[in-house]
Amino acid sequence: MLPTLESDRLVLRPWHDDDAPFVLDLYSRPEVMRYLGRNPAVMTELSEARAKIADWMSFTGPLHGVWAIVPNGSSRPVGTVLLKLLPRTDQLPPTETEIGWHLHPDAWGRGYATEAGYRLLEHAWTNGLSTVLAVTYPENLVSQAVCRRLGMTWLGSTREYYDLTTELFSIDAPQ
């Protein structure tokens, strides 16, 4: 089961079926989708949001999963944060773990991605991971700044993942 994680201002919790309207709102926005995937396409139907939640709920945890980012005192998510195996371009089985975040534009600029990222890295270290990676589109300077705030090191451009040219970041567990 995917655990609920808490930080100073946030609760990272499993997604619920009744979060589908928020998921549709988040992923129907071009400004959110422009840096997601090989062929970014906005969501248009509530059924797509329900299918995405069902996919996220298929992660059995406790390490890998997709969490809703919910501010303390609220029940409505502001985004999503994930730890998952990083798909390789060469189709070999993935062995490396990726961290990522997608936030609603109404939540941008509040430090939620960084705070959720810190908490998820703590979770990764507690569960035995020694290294976590992040990949961003080269143009996604905001996510690259989050990577740097998390203490991640830029390793350069690569085509190793997602069959895209991405900027690769890495962080090792503290000693």
pLDDT tens figures, 95-106: 999 999 999 999
Cα gap 151→118, rounded to integer Å = 9
Question: What pLDDT shows up at residue 150?
Answer: 98
Residues 69, 78 contacting (CB under 8 angstroms): yes
pLDDT digits (tens, 9 = 90+) for 56-95: 998 877 889 999 999 999 999 999 999 999 999 999 998 9
User: Where exactly are the structural domains of the chain?
Assistant: 5-129
How far apart (Å, rounded) are the C-alpha atoms in residues 112 and 168? Answer: 21
CA atoms within 13 A on the CB side of 54: 6
Q: If we measure between CA atoms, which residue out of 130, 53, 65, 57 comes closest to residue 95?
A: 130
pLDDT at 66: 96
36: nearest Cα among 110, 122, 135 = 135
Report the chain's mean pLDDT, rounded to a whole number. Answer: 94
Work out the pLDDT band at 20, boundaries 50, 70, 90: very high
**Predicted structure pTM score:** 0.94
Burial of 18 (0-12, 13-18, 19+ CB in 10 A): exposed
pLDDT reported for residue 175: 86
5-129 folds as: Aminopeptidase (3.40.630)
CA distance 124 to 154: 19
Q: Give residue-wise pLDDT tens across range 23-53.
A: 999 999 999 998 887 788 888 999 999 999 9
Amino acid identity of residue 22, one-letter, is F
pLDDT of residue 172: 98
